Structure 1
């Protein structure tokens, strides 16, 4: 069977849905071009991971859900992840609730679902959509460009500082419904904003397979600061494929915090491209692997501007027979004098059957730079357990405290206390506690 034959995509249905939704002609054309590209491009080649053996083509069909008036209409199990204010909520294939305070709207801030933004802010979306992550990079990016639905558009004008975190919830309740959200964040010069999202699934784990193919694009203007926090808690029948990428201008900063608590196979690529002089990035990722789960997690920083600075930290806990390939890549281009790139990957294995590979990579084409890396893979230190047990703490509780202490440096970076708590609850669930 050819790869073309198994692709979940049809040019006629893609263009017809685009027209039915009233999308502008340029988006219909983009979807059509991406459809053709998907037939010729290959899946990404991941380090020591055969993504072609995963369920990466289970996209289902587009299914919209009825609008809701408040979060009280959501399942109780997910209501604690968001508030009624300054939030976008998507159920299955499309948004059902959006809210932005009048104060922020008066300052020119746009925070809405991407489908609506196409109608109301079409040229602004067109300027940036699929420019940070290109549709022709591989088969996954082409499929995303062709099939995306829902998502978020966040725009912050020049010199506007948003002090309240803006939130989004992407909820999959039906594994037969397409789940391909696109997040586009644009922060103009000297602005600042914090964006937090959750991806959750409530569908039965015994049901159909589903592919989540999500992209987050972040455009950070000169002197701006953007904080992006994302927590994933998708069930074992969902293959989680995520690209997060930011372009960072002069004296600007992007900070990523990611909590990967999904139960299915997953691939993520979180990249900061430091184009401007004095640009900065900080990426922190925490993940817990369980069952037979297979994960490929890459953090990547490309230094182009002079005096640019980056720090990447990944902490992984692996249990049962799960496995993870964790790559940290710092690329310092020729001419990026004064750059400073640091990275750390640490893996804690709670089972003799678990596997974690930490691969720190430095690619340096400039002499006048600083760069460093650290990596470790190991099990819980028995001396630490013995010390805690000698003070009256049970062995199971000692393991729990050591594990949470290992993950705490990342969890504590989540910018909203309630979301920190939600992430901790997901960690406890994954650790079987």
Structure 2
């Protein structure tokens, strides 16, 4: 069997893309090695989800997008997600980044905020050191194909002791079914730095199927604090495969805030490796499934460092015939004394045909630790509806209030008002209100 019959991406394509973009030779070589590795790797095996039955062939081809000098020239689907006067912003449309802006203030402090392709040429040492350290090429066939075919993306580097007060933002838009859409996000927060990064993924005007094979890597060095907020709101035409990983050094901290609002089938795996002592990971996930979506959300924390702490909190609402697997995995390795890992998964089902499975998992290889989990799956409480109706509220409005109250603790954590408002509108649309 030839490589061509196995994989949706070919070596000739990669070489052509690289030449078109003037890519660094070392990066092209990495791509080709990843493609060769992909042919020998298996697909991921998320819990109770058979990816071999999904159509994962929609990689498309690299198509250069025309850059713009102002956000006013962006398509409405992207422009609606950007607040006027946003000082630090990257916008990717299909295969490439079309708009980049970094304030003079942050540039003067040594902050790097550009597309990953440019960073690989202009900041080779930094990119080489960190690219592929959190999400390994060899993890599975999907990750290998990502490293072979990624385009555009973001590279954010925050120097030692630099604290960024204003969120750094990115928007990723897919509106061409024939274009590759596989951005790679690499965030490196140097020692004792602080940053909030916010991005939004959206699709518009698609007349066929698209595969999003995306990877996020966050590297937080000693004492760094990273807040990472992301909202995915792809239409039903997009199959979303997203792998997010963070590596934490001593006394560093990451907060994940994830809004899973897609209408198509989705695999999302968000994981933190607490390598150093005194590290902390906090992951908050909100999700709504509708239609006939097939969904698998996994949140993981792996403790190696002493006195490390992790919290995971997922709230999901399933309606119509949506089916979701919600996995929470806390792993405390031998030697991670005084570690504390807590997780909660809650699923609310709004239809007899909807399904949500919550799977809390604790894997403990050390005695001197604390760990706990909680999980619940159920319908809207009829007693709560009755109580609200007794106060003159209609049944429909009562259900809406209960659902919003169920999701509110995570929505309130979104660090941008515009994004919170947008997320509220998405929730209303997804719930058919």
TM-score with structure 2 setting the length = 0.98
Q: Say whether the 8 Å CA contact 1:249–1:279 is kept in structure 2.
A: yes
Shift of 1:24: 1.2
Say which of 158, 161, 175 aligns to 1:159.
161
Q: Say whether the 8 Å CA contact 1:307–1:338 is kept in structure 2.
A: yes
Shift of 1:12: 1.7
Say which of 103, 106, 127 aligns to 1:104.
106
Q: Say whether the 8 Å CA contact 1:160–1:191 is kept in structure 2.
A: yes
**What are structure 2's unaligned runs of at least 5 residues?**
none
1:137 aligned residue:
139
Residues 309-355 of structure 1: per-residue CA shift (max 9 Å, x gap) = 00000100000000000000000000000000000000000000000
Please give the alpha-carbon distance, in whole angstroms, between the structure 1 residues aligned to 2:152 and 2:52: 26
Shift of 1:16: 2.5
**What are structure 1's unaligned runs of at least 5 residues?**
none
Q: Say whether the 8 Å CA contact 2:298–2:329 is kept in structure 1.
A: yes
Instruction: Give the match's secondary structure for 2:57.
Output: coil
Shift of 1:392: 1.2
Residues 113-156 of structure 1: per-residue CA shift (max 9 Å, x gap) = 11111221122111111111111110000000000001100000
For residues 260-409 of structure 1, what are the structure 2 equivalents within 5 Å? 260-409=260-409
Larger mean CA deviation between 383-392 and 364-373 belongs to 383-392
Q: Relative to structure 1, is the Cα distance of residues 77 and 11 closer, same or farther in structure 2, using a 3 angstrom cutoff? A: closer
Residues 251-303 of structure 1: per-residue CA shift (max 9 Å, x gap) = 11011000010100000110000000100000000100000001000000000
Shift of 1:192: 0.4
2:189 aligned residue:
187
1:197 aligned residue:
199
Q: Say whether the 8 Å CA contact 2:223–2:253 is kept in structure 1.
A: yes
2:228 aligned residue:
228
2:256 aligned residue:
256
Q: Say whether the 8 Å CA contact 2:77–2:173 is kept in structure 1.
A: no
Alignment RMSD (CA, Å): 1.2
Please give the alpha-carbon distance, in whole angstroms, between the structure 2 residues aligned to 1:215 and 1:53: 22
Please give the alpha-carbon distance, in whole angstroms, between the structure 1 residues aligned to 2:136 and 2:419: 31
Please give the alpha-carbon distance, in whole angstroms, between the structure 1 residues aligned to 2:78 and 2:34: 34
For residues 34-113 of structure 1, what are the structure 2 equivalents within 5 Å? 34-83=34-83, 84-113=86-115
Larger mean CA deviation between 300-309 and 422-431 belongs to 422-431
Please give the alpha-carbon distance, in whole angstroms, between the structure 1 residues aligned to 2:429 and 2:63: 29
Please give the alpha-carbon distance, in whole angstroms, between the structure 2 residues aligned to 1:193 and 1:363: 31
Q: Say whether the 8 Å CA contact 1:220–1:248 is kept in structure 2.
A: yes
Instruction: Give the match's secondary structure for 1:299.
Output: strand
For residues 123-134 of structure 1, what are the structure 2 equivalents within 5 Å? 123-134=125-136
Shift of 1:6: 4.5
TM-score with structure 1 setting the length = 0.98
Please give the alpha-carbon distance, in whole angstroms, between the structure 2 residues aligned to 1:81 and 1:419: 7
- Number of residue pairs aligned between Structure 1 and Structure 2: 431
Shift of 1:80: 2.9
